[in-house]
Amino acid sequence: DGGITQSPKYLFRKEGQNVTLSCEQNLNHDAMYWYRQDPGQGLRLIYYSQIVNDFQKGDIAEGYSVSREKKESFPLTVTSAQKNPTAFYLCASSDRGSSGANVLTFGAGSRLTVL
């Protein structure tokens, strides 16, 4: 089955530690995204990548880093510089789109709790 796999599903870390969230897709999509979801805040874009070896900052990139070395993979690192990292993180992918929009397919999410 084609889809997006995020791991781990739940993650607990101490303050000051960097953590890396994994996102793998086998949909052959060019574009991949990371969103952060907090209660009542909707989905906020952290980073996105439209092609391998290239990525762009979203609305809330501070304290996060990404890489896109392979088409299938787009890991997100939550660094110690992120002031409030506890949240639900969603990875998504899409075709580059020719109709003026990218329809997103989401993974199941990773819930990070910083103690």
Partner 1 sequence: GQQVMQIPQYQHVQEGEDFTTYCNSSTTLSNIQWYKQRPGGHPVFLIQLVKSGEVKKQKRLTFQFGEAKKNSSLHITATQTTDVGTYFCAGTRSGGSYIPTFGRGTSLIVHP
Q: Does 34 bind partner 1 (CB under 8 A)?
A: no
SS3 37: strand
Q: Scanning residues 42 to 101, which ones bind partner 1 (CB under 8 A)?
A: 42-45, 48, 58-59, 90, 96-97, 99-101
How far lies 67's CA from each of 8, 40, 103, 113, in Å?
Answer: 18, 29, 22, 22
The reply to whether 5 sits near partner 1 by the rule CB under 8 A is: no
Could you say whether residue 105 binds partner 1 (CB under 8 A)? yes
CA dist 29 and 72 (Å) reads 8
Only one residue has tokens 């953590």, namely 19
Residues at the contact surface with partner 1, assessed by CB under 8 A = 31, 33, 35, 40-45, 48, 58-59, 90, 96-97, 99-109
